[in-house]
A and B are shown apart, each in its own frame.
Chain A
Amino acid sequence: MTPGTDNHELFENLRLELRRGSLVLAVLAALREEQYGYTLRKTLAEQGMVIDEGTLYPLLRRLESQGLLVSEWREEEKRNKRFYRLSAEGKVILKELLAEWQRINASLNGML
């Protein structure tokens, strides 16, 4: 393996690590309004947060099991869809996470 490939792999790993934390925040923020999986994915992509379904749906399940999201199956356009939204607990956590995000952002802006 060449040093170039090593560096690229290292960068990819670090980038994924950086993104992983931000994705949770992005998903929670996007679900302040109720959405189903596909529209959520589109909303995130339109905002530049492209996320594949193999990552999004397991994440939604995890957040739901942690009590941050609630979901229900409902019919829309003649098809059953699962709608997600923030739970009361999710709203509190999101508020705290956003405040933390602002602090990190301000710190990093000061350093960069």
Chain B
Amino acid sequence: MDLVDSYVRAVAKALPEEQREDISRELSEDIHSEMEDRQRELGRELTPAEQEALLKQRGNPLLLAARYRQDQRSLTIGRELVGPVLFPFYVKVLSFNLGLTLVVIGAIFLALTASGQRMGFNNIVSTCLLQLFIQLAIVTVIFSLVQKHLTMHPDRWHLKGMGGGVALDLKVEKNIKQRIKHDKKGWGPEVSRLESISIIVACGVAVAWITGVQNYPFLILGPASFFLKLAPIWYQIYFPILLLTVAEIVRAFINLMRPDWVLFRLICRILVHAGGLTVAYALLKAGTWVVAAEGGANVSAGYKGAVEIVNQVLYWGLLFSVILSAGMLVFRIVDLMQRWRWQNKMSGAEATANEGN
């Protein structure tokens, strides 16, 4: 009954925590009752394909979970952009992004204030509003695209990993790991087209942002761009970052055409991740990431203090990111090796079975 567990788990993940266990138990019971009923009619066990067909009839786990939720809010501007199915996820992602943005902006302001820089109220407000607007626009565009896909193709999802319900879960790595245990056919579930489209959109936005930062440091430094500017290292790593982002877009595009190229994705992700880690390491090694906007001997002690504080904050941030990223890369490599071993084991078992026949 692995398929049933996967389905129930996918529904449960989209449910409010307080109802999760209760609804999952009842849903699981209902599915098992239906399967047993069907088995009695047929006088035999159901095949995995028949089990899958029964589960498919129940619909996309995301849509099913939404029917249990009391919260039926949506985002509508003229037409419905984000419906009740995705709205709770939209709010979560948006809150996280906006919260993070405000914390970063707040930290920059504090650093500047601590170093004696005077900040105009207009600067503070305009910076916050611009950053919040950018975040809001990006998250809304991505979610409305996913919503459009869900509305147009509510039945386009697969139990073995891809599509609507499961692919939208943010704990992607955990899901992949859980699925390896059940997957006996190959390298893992097919690559979700929804995931590929999301990556293409997200990377497209990232390319626009990275390119914009070159000319408008305001996009990354916020109000601090009046006093600070990016160190030369950022301009040196611009092309490697651009290359990696474009490589990820190409990879996602290929997987959009060929979702069955799972091994291709696994290898590409490791390569891109390793490339990203190399760039991050080069960035970390640079030691200085921002410099005073007014160079030379005119730089006051206050300016120098602000630059030092911001560089310190960036140092710890970068160090943390590099360590985290290195850990994730190791995890991905181990994951690939496990899959490879599993693949070999299954091929060996198949060969032995064929010899036996």
Contacts and interface: CB of A to CB of B under 8 A. Distances in A.
Interface stretch (A4-12, A25-33, A54-62, A103-111): A54-62
Contacts of A36: 29, 33
A55 B63 CA distance: 11
A36 B27 CA distance: 12
Interface of A: 36-39, 41-42, 52-55, 57-58, 61, 73, 79-82
Given A38-B34, A61-B68, A54 B29 contact: no
B59 interface: yes
A38 B37 CA distance: 10
A58 B67 contact: yes
A58 to B, nearest CB: 5
Prevailing SS type, chain B contact patch:
helix
Interface residues of B, number: 16
B304 interface: no
B294 interface: no
B111 to A, nearest CB: 50
B30 A57 contact: yes
Contacts of A55: 67
A81 B27 contact: no
Given A38-B34, A54-B58, A57-B23, A82 B67 contact: no
A41 B30 CA distance: 10
17 contacts: A36-B33, A37-B26, A38-B30, A38-B33, A38-B34, A38-B37, A39-B33, A41-B30, A54-B67, A57-B23, A57-B68, A58-B67, A58-B68, A73-B25, A79-B32, A80-B25, A82-B25
